[in-house]
Chains A and B, each alone.
Chain A
Amino acid sequence: QVQLQESGPGLVKPSETLSLTCAVSGYSISSGYYWGWIRQPPGKGLEWIGTIYHSGNTDYNPSLKSRVTISVDTSKNQFSLKLKSVTAADTAVYYCATIGRQQLVWLSLDPWGQGTLVTVSS
Chain B
Amino acid sequence: SYEMTQPPSVSVSPGQTASITCSGDKLGNKYVFWYQQKPGQSPVLVIFEDSKRPSGIPERFSGSNSGNTATLTISGTQAMDEADYYCQAWDSSTALFGGGTKLTVL
Residues of A at under 8 Å CB distance from B? 36, 38, 45-48, 51, 59, 61-62, 95, 99, 105-115
Give the interface of B toward A (CB within 8 A): 1, 31, 33, 35, 42-45, 48-49, 54, 86, 88, 90, 93-100
Instruction: Out of B33, B42, B97, B100, name the residue touching A112 (CB < 8 Å).
Output: B42
B1: which A residues are within 8 A, CB to CB?
62
Question: What separation, in Å, do the CA atoms of A20 and B35 have in the docked complex?
Answer: 23
Assuming the contacts A107-B31, A108-B48, asked whether A46 and B94 have C-beta atoms less than 8 A apart, the reply is no
Contact A59 B86 (CB under 8 A): no
Cα–Cα, bound, A38→B98 (Å): 13
Instruction: Please provide the 5 A-B residue pairs with the shortest distance between their CB atoms, ordered closest to farther.
Output: A48-B95, A106-B90, A110-B45, A59-B93, A112-B42
Q: With A and B bound together, what is the CA distance between A51 and B92 in angstroms?
A: 12
A36, B43: Cβ atoms closer than 8 Å: no
The binding surface of chain A is classed by DSSP as strand
A105 to B49, CA, bound (A): 11
* A28 to B97 Cα, complex, angstroms: 28
Contact B97 A46 (CB under 8 A): yes
Residue ID in chain B nearest A45 by CB atoms: B100
Residues of B within 8 A of A62 (CB): 1, 94
A48→B96 contact, CB < 8 A: yes
* A48, closest chain B residue (CB): B95
Q: Are A51 and B96 in contact (CB under 8 A)?
A: no
Query: What CA separation (Å) do A108 and B90 show in the bound complex?
Result: 9
